[in-house]
Structure formats: C-alpha cells, structure tokens
Amino acid sequence: MAVGQNEFPKMLQVSGITLGTACAGIKQTIKDDIVLIAMAEQSTCAAVFTRNAFCAAPVHVAKANMTHQPRWLLINSGNANAGTGKQGMDDAQLSCAGVAEVVGGQAQQVLPFSTGVIGQPLPVAKITAALPAAFAQLSAGLWDKAARAIMTTDTFPKGVSKVITLDGHSITINGIAKGAGMIQPDMATMLAFIATDAKIAQPLLQSCLAAAVEQSFNRITVDGDTSTNDACVLMASGCASAPEITADSEYYQIFADAIMAVCKQVAELIIRDGEGATKLMRIVVEQAKTDEEAVRVGKTIAHSPLVKTAFFASDPNWGRILAAVGRAGVDNMVLEDVQLFLDDVCIVRNGGCADDYTESAGQRVMKQEEITITVKLGRGQAVQEVLTCDFSYDYVKINAEYRT
C-alpha cells in the first residue's frame, strides 16, 4: 500500500557513475539483492550516517573508508549486519575486500551499506560469489534495477532525476532510496544514494549534502524509530563539461538548491511508501521562535500514535493534535495565540474550538489521501515542515511478521 501514483521515472545517465546488480540469495532468491556502484577516478564523495549508538558494522567501515577517496559502493538488502559484534566488522571488511578483488582496486576505497534483518551474520560468501555478476553488469543506465535491489519492505522503487544548467552546460542529478519503516532519520531503515556529474571539491560537497539532509531526510518520520543503518551518500563524478562549482561561485546556490530539491523529493517518496500508509500528512509549524522549536512541535504531532490512527480512520479528532502540541515542550506558550488548521479549515482559535468549525468540514479534509496540518504558534517567524503518514492495521501486520 502506498499513497499516490509512484511510478519509477525515466532516469538519465550520470556520466562517470555506473551501476550493476546481482542476486546473492541473502534472504531470497527471486530478485537482485546486491548493488555495486562505481565512480570515475576523479570523483568526490560525501556522506551522512545514522547517529544511533548501535550503528551497524558497515556504517563504521564506511565512515572509516570515507578518508580514502571512495571509488565503489557495495549495497546489500536482506541483512543489516547490525548487532553482530566483531564478526560483523570482519564481514563488512571482507565484503570490501571482495569488491577490491573483482574491480582491481583497494578495499579502503569501498563503502559498504547493508539493510534488512538486525542481529544475523552477514552471508559474506554469498555476496562475494555474486560480485563478478554485478561487476559484469556495470552500466550507466541501471538505476531502476539498483533501486529495486535495495528494497526491503518497500512496495515500490524510489527514484528522482533532475537536470540543471550552469553556464550553458547540463548537470544531471539522480537519486534513489529505500525505506518504508523504522523511519526517523537522525543524521530510518533508510538508505539514499545521490549522484551527479558536477565537479565540486569534497568539503563543499559535504556541506551541501549536510544542509540538504537536514531539510529533507531529517524532516520525515514513519514511526519515530531511528535505524542502525541509515546513510545518505552524494557522489560527484566531475565528468560534466560545466565549470567547477566553488563556494564563491555564482553556480553554487543553483547546485545546492537542486540537491535540496532532489533530497526532498526522494524523502517524500519514502513517506508515501510508509509501511501500511494510506495517507500522507504535511505538518507545517509556523510562527515558532526557532526552527528547532518548530521541528519539535511537528515531530511530536507526527510521532503520536493517537494522531496517526485518527488520520487512518479519517476521524477529525483534533483534540489529539492539540494534546501533542501541548506536550511538545514549548516554554511559556500562550494558548490563545495558537491556531490549528486541517488544510484550509481552522479547527482551533483563541484557546479552543474555532467558532466557525464544523465536524463535516473536518471530515471532508480527513477523507483526503494528502492532508496538511498547520500549527500557528504565534511566537515568532520560524517555519518548518515535517512529513509523516498514518498508522494502519497493515503497519502492525508488516512489522509483526517481518522475520517470518
């Protein structure tokens, strides 16, 4: 189940970036479950990772290998290689060594990523046995196959492709991701991979990614659970004919805005595919004192099981939203200044139910697939948006049966 029509788009090729997939049979033998991504030699690479204290072995290894000018990414689904202790670290390193042997490179230039069940040993032998097939497939046009190979409980592959023009030269930006549950990035089981043929130095690329992630992947939540394996990688091959992007360049903001747009689009696809989701909710918090305050209020609403189940039932039980705002930790909040809206329907004003609110008006909005909840705090100028989805019967079923 997913919200809206979410067909995989036509993905343009990113010069200097190739992808290959194969079936290693990690958890099943029906679909491809490993992806190999190769970057041109001059490429730069940026990444952000989960802040979960029990972060997975591949996260540790990928962080360490970021200092060795990465050239290859290895991604597997079906097994998270998390909670696996020293063996997990050894297995992640062995996977990198397997890639190095196949491509003729160095293991330290391989970034490993895993997603799937936590606490089970990674079947390294299966992965390394499948690597030659993935290597043989390397092509600039396999974005759709790669997006499908990294899926776990996802119901559709997620991709975005965008072109911008700098000084008359085209730059392509592609993004794919997986994630449907355990989504509350803090940088869900979320993995995102973005590639561009722009030429840009690594420190500036890292700053660009960090800013984009903060306003995209860090503004979504399905269930409030931060995964052990979250990661988002931004690769820049430098193969485009456009001029190099520098911090003081007139082109940097254009490029940064485009990266932000791709990240936001991919992040929204994750929420549209939230486990069991039937509705997408945009929670817009306005008139907050600070961005942090606005995000805190937005996520308190988004994390409330009572709010999420009310939306699944199309029940305009606005008291649940009001209660979430009240426990969001906003100091000295003036209740009479707070306003709540469902789309254009004002439900709370002057400290209570709006005089002109009707249950039928609330019901009309709640029956929609996509709903905007607007909270006006009356305290300042800060505005932030958080995306979430409802909780349905299927969310419980999917997660209850995840390992069976």
Cα–Cα distance between 331 and 404 in angstroms, integer?
Answer: 46
**What are residue 293's DSSP bridge partners?**
none
Q: Which residues contact 273 (CB under 8 A, 6 or more apart)?
A: 2, 3, 6, 154, 155, 156, 158, 179, 180
Kindly state the helix (H) or strand (E) to which residue 107 belongs, with its residue range. none
Is 387:282 a contact under the CB 8 Å cutoff? yes
189 neighbors 229 (Cβ within 8 angstroms) = yes
* Other C-beta atoms lying within 10 Å of the C-beta of residue 154: 22
How far apart are the two ends of the chain, measured CA to CA in Å?
20
User: Would you call 333 helix, strand, or coil by DSSP?
Assistant: coil
30, 109, 117, 138, 228 from 24: Cα distances, Å: 10, 22, 16, 16, 22
Residues 6+ apart with CB under 8 A from 66: 45, 47, 111
Q: How distant, in Å, are the alpha carbons of 76, 98, 121 from that of 22?
A: 10, 14, 20
What is the helix (H) or strand (E) element at residue 6, kind and residue range? Answer: none
Residue 404: CB partners within 8 Å, gap ≥ 6? none
- Residue keyed to tokens 């820049």: 236
Contact, 102 vs 138, CB < 8 A? no
Q: Which helix (H) or strand (E) holds 403?
A: none
122 with 95: CB under 8 angstroms?
yes
Supply the residues annotated as catalytic. 189
* Type of residue numbered 396: V
Distances (CA, A) of 386 to 144, 160, 218, 300, 372: 28, 20, 9, 10, 10
